[in-house]
Amino acid sequence: MTDNPNQASDSTPKPIPISAAQEIPVYSCCVLVRKSEGSGYHARVANLADITVQGSSERDVLQKITTTIKSSLKNWVQSGGTIPWVDPPAEKLESEQERFLAIHL
C-alpha cells in the first residue's frame, strides 16, 4: 500500500477530481493616469463614476485604484444596485495615459 492518496496500490495514478466551473464576473475598466504637480500620480476611472486615487507612483495608483474598483463593484453587485457605468467614458486629458484593467470579483 502507498502513502500517496492519489495513487492506487498497483502504482496506477488515480485521477484528481476537478470541481465544477464557476462563473467569475470580469469587468473592463479604463483608467486614466497622470503625473501630478510635484512627485505624485493621480488616476481616475473613465468608465465608472467618482473613482479616483492618488499615489506616489504609477504602480501605486494602479494598485490603489484596482482595490477601490473591486470594493465598489462588489458593494454594487451585493446590494443589487446598478453599477454606474459612464457611457461614453470620460475623455482623456492631454496629460493622461490610458490603462485598461480587467477586474475579477
Residue 75 lies in a domain: yes
Q: Distance between CA atoms of 43 and 62, rounded to whole angstroms?
A: 7
Q: Distance between CA atoms of 55 and 72, rounded to whole angstroms?
A: 19
Q: Which three cell numbers stand for residue 92?
A: 482623456
Q: How many domains are there within the chain?
A: 1
- At 44, is the pLDDT very low, low, confident or very high (cuts 50, 70, 90)? very high
62 contacts 31 by C-beta, under 8 angstroms: yes
65 contacts 43 by C-beta, under 8 angstroms: yes
Name the β-bridge partners of 34: 42
Q: Which three cell numbers stand for residue 60?
A: 501605486
Q: How many CA atoms lie within 13 A of 44 on its CB side?
A: 15
Q: Distance between CA atoms of 27 and 76, rounded to whole angstroms?
A: 13
Q: Give residue 49's domain range.
A: 26-104
Residue 58 lies in a domain: yes
6 or 86, higher pLDDT: 86
- Its pTM stands at 0.76
* Mean pLDDT of the residues in the chain: 88
Q: What is the pLDDT of residues 54-82, one digit of tens each?
A: 999 999 999 999 999 999 999 999 999 89
- At 16, is the pLDDT very low, low, confident or very high (cuts 50, 70, 90)? confident
Give pLDDT, residue 34. Answer: 97
Residue 43 lies in a domain: yes
Residue 99 lies in a domain: yes
> Residue range 92-104: average pLDDT?
96
Residue 32 lies in a domain: yes
CATH of the domain at 47: 3.30.160
Report the SS3 class of residue 63: helix
